[in-house]
Amino acid sequence: MQSVAAALERLGELAESPAVSRLATAFADAGHELALVGGPVRDAFLGRAVNDLDFTSDATPDEILGIVKPISEAHWDVGRKFGTIGAKIAGEQVEITTYRSDAYDGESRKPEVVFGDSLEDDLVRRDFTVNALALRLPERTLVDPSGGIEDLLAGILRTPAAAEQSFGDDPLRMMRAARFAAQLGFAVEPATERAMGDLAGAIERISAERVRDEFSKLLLTADPVPGIRLLVDSGIADRVLPEIPALRLEIDEHHHHKDVYEHSLTVLRQAIDYEVSRGTLASPDLIVRLAAILHDIGKPATRRLEAGGAVSFHHHDVVGAKLARKRLRALRYDNDTIAAVGRLIELHLRFFGYSDQQWTDSAVRRYVRDAGPQLERLHILTRADVTTRNRRKADRLGFAYDDLEERIAVLAEEEELAAVRPELDGVQIQEALGIRPGPAVGEAYRFLLELRLDEGVIGEDAARERLLAWWAGRDGAEG
């Protein structure tokens, strides 16, 4: 947290930048108000990089468009019905929104867009006091009607209006509280947190797409765990992601197992650490993080209390993958994300046991083949899934996975393992066997693929001989 003087100096420098100064002058010349608002002002006080330039004005969307057209390299109005006009000015992307006074009617999943006429009224209707800050331009006057500066200094999230009213206006703000708690490292003010619990059911009025986007933003923070805890403790997760609170399995004195909920949060944190430290993926990676928090959601449905105090979770990987796909579809995630997360959960147990009996080259090839494009993510998830406090066991598993990755690298270099294919393609199979396209070609292809996985590269001639021998011995083979 920077001092107020240092923050104002940063804001002054921002106001002097070509994009902001040009925009401020244009609005002043047109007789309209303009203010830098929300995140950029907040981040100036937090000493964070200012990435987005968001403005608000008393001008209508049509008037905003008329002002920015002459001074912009490009402009767009896809958010026009919500009062937002975007533009690129002096190389900077900016968004200007007409003062708003939206509210939900209590039944609709989307707010009724109502334009306002006052900056102060616009600010007090925003989600949290730390986001209800503005810098009037061009005069550079700080506007803080709700005590946002004090809350920034204290590290507190609080709504400008009564929390019940604010969350009633837009229930998604409760999920935003979780995201900002994680993103900023702030504590939610007690009355605001109580209101989240009291109004948790209101989140069901929000569209699945908006819930999805907010949950994704939470997962993409540097440490999502405090936000997830808030969603679970408030009861909001029960409404939008019930599989996560369901991980809090009851543990009795006779049957002991790892706390699955706490384990999953630890796996998420460790997956993020690996994602960052390995540097092999573009970080943050949503698929890795979804797979990490959801990887064990099949355990509640598969838990069995065994004799002698043991607890089993047989096939929780398969059940968990099915549950994850169902939940992600309900939240309107795209098909590629759903498929990738499901596949990772299916495969997340595959490695365990490698350290007890080293795999054959064939097993390593199959591991790579089954992971496909998710191999690097599977490396991360599998390593992150080791949360034992037994240092010797953790080291043994870590060394075993190091060995597996080294073997994958060696085989890949020798065999181009990432693109494992039979040594004869479909046309060559048809020519060798003298058959036409049909199911038999697919069967032959699968035979050659298994041969490739089992024995590696044997050459086209040898593959053709083995194919002919297999075909000759196949029941019902055609000449």
The answer to whether domain 1-154 has CATH 3.30.460.10 is: yes
Q: How big is the CA angle at 66 (ends 64 and 67), to the nearest 5 degrees?
A: 65
State how far the Cα of 205 lies from the Cα of 201, in Å rounded to an integer: 8
More confident: 365 or 338: 338
What is residue 309's predicted lDDT score, i.e. its pLDDT? 67
Nearest to 135 by CA among 121, 159, 118, 119: 119
What is residue 77's predicted lDDT score, i.e. its pLDDT? 87
* Residue 111: pLDDT band with limits 50, 70, 90: low
* Residue 181: pLDDT band with limits 50, 70, 90: very high
What is residue 254's predicted lDDT score, i.e. its pLDDT? 40
What is residue 144's predicted lDDT score, i.e. its pLDDT? 95
Mean pLDDT of 436-461: 85
Mean pLDDT of 417-425: 72
Q: Are 101 and 165 in contact (CB under 8 A)?
A: no
* Residue 201: pLDDT band with limits 50, 70, 90: very high
CATH number for the region 245-419 comes to 1.10.3210
What is residue 478's predicted lDDT score, i.e. its pLDDT? 47
Q: Say yes or no to pLDDT of 107 above 80.
A: no
What is residue 253's predicted lDDT score, i.e. its pLDDT? 46
Mean pLDDT of 34-47: 92
Report the range of poorest mean pLDDT among 212-221, 279-288, 354-363, 447-456.
354-363
What is residue 103's predicted lDDT score, i.e. its pLDDT? 56
Q: Say yes or no to pLDDT of 255 above 50.
A: no
More confident: 341 or 461: 341
Domain-wise residue ranges, the chain: 1-154, 155-240, 245-419, 426-472
Residue 235's SS3 state is coil
HSE of 339, CA atoms in CB hemisphere, 13 A: 8
Mean pLDDT of 91-106: 80
Q: Say yes or no to pLDDT of 252 above 80.
A: no
State how far the Cα of 284 lies from the Cα of 276, in Å rounded to an integer: 8
More confident: 306 or 68: 68
Mean pLDDT of 167-193: 95
Predicted TM-score (pTM) of this structure: 0.82
Mean pLDDT of 324-344: 98
Q: Say yes or no to pLDDT of 235 above 60.
A: yes
Strands 187-188 and 311-312: unpaired
Mean pLDDT of 96-114: 68
Q: Say yes or no to pLDDT of 423 above 90.
A: no
Report the range of poorest mean pLDDT among 7-11, 72-76, 92-96, 463-467.
7-11
What is residue 257's predicted lDDT score, i.e. its pLDDT? 55
Q: What is the largest CA-CA distance in the chain?
A: 89
Mean pLDDT of 178-199: 96
Report the range of poorest mean pLDDT among 72-86, 143-157, 413-427.
413-427
Q: Say yes or no to pLDDT of 199 above 70.
A: yes
Q: Are 57 and 23 in contact (CB under 8 A)?
A: no
Q: How big is the CA angle at 333 (ends 225 and 54), to the nearest 5 degrees?
A: 70
**CATH number among 3.40.50.1970, 3.30.499.10, 3.90.79.10, 1.10.110.30, domain 155-240:** 1.10.110.30
Mean pLDDT of the chain: 89
